Amino acid sequence: MEYADDVAPARFTSLPSWLLSRAAGVGHRLLTERLAEAGARGYHYRLLATLEEFGPASQATLGRRSGIHLSDLVAVLNDLEGRGFVERTPDPADKRRNVITITAAGRREGKRLGERLDQVQEELLAPLTAKEREQLTELLGRIVAHHQAA
In this prediction, what percent of the chain has a pLDDT beyond 90? 82
Cα 45 to chain center, whole Å? Answer: 7
Averaged pLDDT score across all residues of the chain = 92
- 30 versus 149: which is more confidently predicted? 30
DSSP 31: H
Cα–Cα dist 9/127, whole Å: 24
Q: Is the pLDDT of residue 150 over 90?
A: no
Over residues 101-110, mean pLDDT: 98
pTM to 2 decimal places: 0.84
DSSP string, 125-146: TTTS-HHHHHHHHHHHHHHHHH
pLDDT in tens, 23-72: 999 999 999 999 999 999 999 999 999 999 999 999 999 999 999 998 89
Predicted local confidence at residue 1, as pLDDT: 45
Over residues 130-143, mean pLDDT: 97
DSSP string, 60-113: HHHHHHHT--HHHHHHHHHHHHHTTSEEEEEETTEEEEEEEEE-HHHHHHHHHH
Predicted local confidence at residue 12, as pLDDT: 77
Ordered by where they begin, the domains of the chain are 39-149 (1.10.10.10)
Predicted local confidence at residue 107, as pLDDT: 98
Q: Is the pLDDT of residue 8 over 80?
A: no
Predicted local confidence at residue 48, as pLDDT: 97
Predicted local confidence at residue 13, as pLDDT: 82
Over residues 73-77, mean pLDDT: 95
Q: Is the pLDDT of residue 109 over 70?
A: yes
Give 56: exposed, middle or buried? Use CB within 10 Å, 0-12, 13-18, 19+. middle
